[in-house]
Structure 1
Amino acid sequence: MPPSLGRAGNGGVAVKLISSRCDLQHVPDSYVLPPESRPGKEEFVLCENIPVIDLERDRAENVRQVLKAGQEFGFFQLTNHGVSKTLMTDVLEVAEGFFELPIEDKASVYSEDPKRSCRLYTSIDYDKEKVHFWRDSLRHPCHPVDEHVQSWPEKPVRYRELAGKYSVEVRKLSMLLLELIGEGLGLEPGFFERDELNRVQLMALNCYPRCPNPSLTLGLPRHRDVNLITVLLQGPVLGLQVLEDGQWLALQPLPGAFVINIGLALQIISNGSLRSAEHRVMTNRTLARMTVTTFIHPSGDCMVEPAKGITKNHNPPLYRSFLYKDFLSTYIVDTYEGEPPLKRYTL
């Protein structure tokens, strides 16, 4: 038994993993948000203006569209991106298969230690937080694949094979998007190819089980991603909402498309030209929702600051320089306490 399970054993893990309690007829008190934080109404208002970008366009148009979407919304959906639809389907299916495993198998990778590289968990700090969110997540590093694959789950049997292939393809796409963004911002060629800027790639499998009362809880609270860029693969179930002009708008999943999200680190590098938008995840009364999310991060020792090629006399830096690992630490604290994560870094 992993040390992180302590005396609770598999039974304790089963209680903490919401995906193992799919027969619940009501929302447990520990998942009920305070009245002011509850989503309330269950119906979704669909977003009509989040861009859908077709990467089969010519490069100049792709640069223009990606930059415009990053500046105006911070989110966009991406089609004809070069990643096999079969591979995307297979990865979602193997992710679903992981969360359907017996509790004994899931317990082998469950951990409440945030320093463990590959771990299944339901909350950042389950025992200390006042309210839990309606999600379980399996998260692990995946670049380079050869350095990390042995720490990944052995079940389902094709997990390592499919997750490895998928992470390589999504990394290629992520680097292409960063290349287009760099070109649009007027940065020198290869700006985002520097190892310290893109070294860390994390994959997260997220399970949002069906919820008996979605008006009381959330899969994830409102937040902005801390990293450079996020690539989201989602099934057909609605859940992701973006805050736009004070209203929560749902992104309608498009078959075969990725959702791309600008992170705070990229907002800083762009000196505020690009926007990291607030978003959250709703639950569903009748259907479970599965997502596979890929995060591209700088290394911990990377100095993050507005790019020198952007800041000029007429465009002075909006943010001070800092080590990314320091930003990660303050981001967790500020997000938990409801403070703006960039407040202490803004000049």
Structure 2
Amino acid sequence: MAIPTVDLSPFFTEANEDGQKKAIEIIKEACSQYGFFQIVNHGVPHDLMSRAIEFSKTFFAFPDEEKLKFSPGSGAPLPAGYTKPPSHSPDKKEYMLMFQPQLGFNQFPDNTPDLRDVHEEMFAYFRKTGELIENILNDCLGLPPAFLKQYNHDRSWDFMISLHYFPATEAENCGIGEHEDANIMSFVIQDDVGGLEVKKDGEWIPVAPAPGTIVVNIGDCVQVWSNKKFKSATHRVVRSKERHRHSLAFFYTIKGDKLIEPLPQFTEEIGEAPKYRGFLYKDYQALRLRNKTHPPSRPEDIISITHYEISTK
């Protein structure tokens, strides 16, 4: 079993309505069945994707004392900069969190201008790809034109992370445990090590890396808007025993003051009760961030979108 792959080339050529309709149908089915799909011919240069991964490897190869100079500062909606997990953390990875370039939250060593340039260019391409997929999701959900755009019209809450997963040990192979993303959607490019897996019907499906391919997964906001018609994908990363893993993740997200709730098209207009109560995105984001800064002692106490579910009992 493999997650669907979607060819986006019809959206970059004129008068290819049949190709666009086919892509939209594949994405709609993927969102309802997996919450995951891969895209090819997406307009992001393959050599740029490769260089972004290689420059990330360069940064993570720096000594710890050099990387720690770029630890998170204050003033950003999320802590931008380099983060190394504590030794007791179940997630065995380090990462560099970079915000939208014009907001000034991105963090880079001054002696690596190429790394900065490549990642800022990669960010810009991810944002364009996100706007395209957002329009497609808008169609898949049957919403008025540009309806989803209102949730972050200036894209000022989007962010990107470079990640480095350490090789697995005999006792532990978790890179990041199973979870769902809180946002609209996420994009991932991974090196040839792989390790990304998506959960479907209780089974874990590996997402095999392929050159030039971008992985897309749907987040909690889409699941809430659609009243569970579309899935927020449960996924994880399993580490290789022999190799380090590098990836780049872009989070296409929402402004904090926006209210998220099931849309009437999926509730009152079709006679279905809402499955979630409404919430401000910033409140949910704060709860999710607390999972990381103050990890609960019991897994069942980790906050997820079920926190806002309406009980049917």
1:211 to 168, 184, 189: 168
Q: 1:279 to 1:154 in 2, by over 3 A?
A: same
Which sections of structure 1, spanning at least 5 residues, go unmatched? 1-47
Partner of 2:218: 262
**Alpha-carbon separation, structure 1, partners of 2:291 and 2:71:** 26
Give the alignment of 1:1-347 within 5 angstroms: 48-57=1-10, 58-111=19-72, 117-123=79-85, 126=86, 130-142=88-100, 145-148=101-104, 151-194=107-150, 196=152, 198-213=155-170, 216-311=172-267, 312-333=269-290, 336-337=295-296, 338-339=299-300, 341-347=304-310
Q: 1:155 to 1:116 in 2, by over 3 A?
A: farther
Partner of 1:45: none
Quote how far apart the aligned CAs of 1:182 are. Answer: 0.8
Partner of 1:13: none
Q: Is the 8 A contact 1:74 1:261 kept in 2?
A: yes
Q: 1:196 to 1:174 in 2, by over 3 A?
A: closer
Count of matched residue pairs: 293
For residues 217-266 of structure 1, give each alpha carbon's deviation from its aligned partner in whole angstroms, at most 9, with x where no partner exists.
41101111111100001111121111222222211111110010111112
Quote how far apart the aligned CAs of 1:334 are. Answer: 6.4
Q: Is the 8 A contact 1:92 1:292 kept in 2?
A: yes
Q: What residue identity is the alignment partner of 2:92?
A: W
Q: Is the 8 A contact 1:134 1:218 kept in 2?
A: yes
Q: Is the 8 A contact 1:226 1:264 kept in 2?
A: yes
Q: What residue identity is the alignment partner of 1:204?
A: I
For residues 123-180 of structure 1, give each alpha carbon's deviation from its aligned partner in whole angstroms, at most 9, with x where no partner exists.
3xx38xx5442100111212xx223266443343312111111111110101110110
Q: Is the 8 A contact 1:188 1:309 kept in 2?
A: no
Which sections of structure 2, spanning at least 5 residues, go unmatched? 11-18
Q: TM-score, normalised by structure 1?
A: 0.78
Q: Is the 8 A contact 1:75 1:260 kept in 2?
A: yes
Q: What residue identity is the alignment partner of 2:168?
A: C
Quote how far apart the aligned CAs of 1:72 are. Answer: 0.5
Q: Is the 8 A contact 1:211 1:284 kept in 2?
A: yes
Give the root-mean-square deviation of aligned CA atoms.
2.3
Q: Identity over the aligned pairs, expressed in percent?
A: 26
Higher relative contact order (CA 8 A, sep 6+): 1
Quote how far apart the aligned CAs of 1:290 are. Answer: 0.3
Q: 1:151 to 1:96 in 2, by over 3 A?
A: closer
**Alpha-carbon separation, structure 2, partners of 1:103 and 1:233:** 25
Q: Is the 8 A contact 1:233 1:293 kept in 2?
A: yes
**Alpha-carbon separation, structure 2, partners of 1:225 and 1:159:** 26
Q: What residue identity is the alignment partner of 2:112?
A: P
SS in 1 for 2:217: strand
Q: Is the 8 A contact 2:160 2:250 kept in 1?
A: yes
SS in 1 for 2:177: strand
Q: 1:135 to 1:291 in 2, by over 3 A?
A: same
For residues 37-69 of structure 1, give each alpha carbon's deviation from its aligned partner in whole angstroms, at most 9, with x where no partner exists.
xxxxxxxxxxx2311111124211121111111
**Alpha-carbon separation, structure 2, partners of 1:67 and 1:167:** 25
Mean Cα displacement is larger for which, 324-333 or 68-77?
Answer: 324-333
Q: Is the 8 A contact 1:112 1:121 kept in 2?
A: no
Q: Is the 8 A contact 1:304 1:321 kept in 2?
A: yes
Q: Is the 8 A contact 2:198 2:206 kept in 1?
A: yes
Partner of 1:38: none
Q: 1:112 to 1:286 in 2, by over 3 A?
A: farther
SS in 2 for 1:219: strand
Partner of 2:16: none
